[in-house]
Amino acid sequence: MFDPDIRALAAELLDMSKERGFTVATIESCTGGLVCGALTAIAGSSAMVLGGLITYANEAKAALAGVPEPLLKQHGAVSEPVARAMAEGGRRRLDATFAVSITGVAGPGGGSVEKPVGLVHFACAGPSGTRHRERRFGEKSRDEIRRLSVLEALDLLRETALTGP
């Protein structure tokens, strides 16, 4: 179901979790649960994955991940502050060692000059703080932007688990 690169990253995270004893939660918007799906596609992932929140609408970001509504209004859903708040809120709510979040514009519509199609914000919250990445994947297909976002989120999770923020 998932391409070999995604499966390899997910398997590596499971191995790291077994060695280091950490747990993971995902808080996803434009990927709609694909990161959690990639992790749970690996046998034995129940030892690592606590759960995932799909917070596609702003109301869900606020209700499920605890993102403050004023933050959403001030910065918009596709922003660094919201990605950070999603990861931090999801980590608290699911009591995970690490929580990775994704919010972006997968297209083909919905973009603007300030926030074009392909703009995606990622955050990973852990015991030492929260790390953020911004990627601009460009005018790729919706499926490709979502696939690249899953890879990026898994890589950020791996990097944070290895080194901290």
> How far is Cα 91 from Cα 95, in angstroms, rounded to an integer?
5
> How far is Cα 54 from Cα 148, in angstroms, rounded to an integer?
18
> Helix, strand, coil proportions of the chain in percent (round to 5)?
50, 20, 30
At residue 23, the pLDDT reads: 98
At residue 165, the pLDDT reads: 57
125: tokens are 């919250």
Mean pLDDT of 110-132: 95
> How far is Cα 27 from Cα 33, in angstroms, rounded to an integer?
8
What is the model's pTM? 0.97
Asked whether the predicted pLDDT for residue 164 surpasses 70, the reply is no
> How far is Cα 135 from Cα 104, in angstroms, rounded to an integer?
9
Phi-psi region of 87 (alpha: psi -120 to 50; beta: other; left: phi over 0): alpha
Per-residue pLDDT of 11-38, as tens digits, reads: 999 999 999 999 999 999 999 999 999 9
Per-residue pLDDT of 46-95, as tens digits, reads: 999 999 999 999 999 999 999 999 999 999 999 999 999 999 999 999 99
- The position carrying tokens 């995970």 is 96
Name every residue whose Cβ is closer than 8 Å to that of residue 19 and which is 6 or more positions away in sequence: none
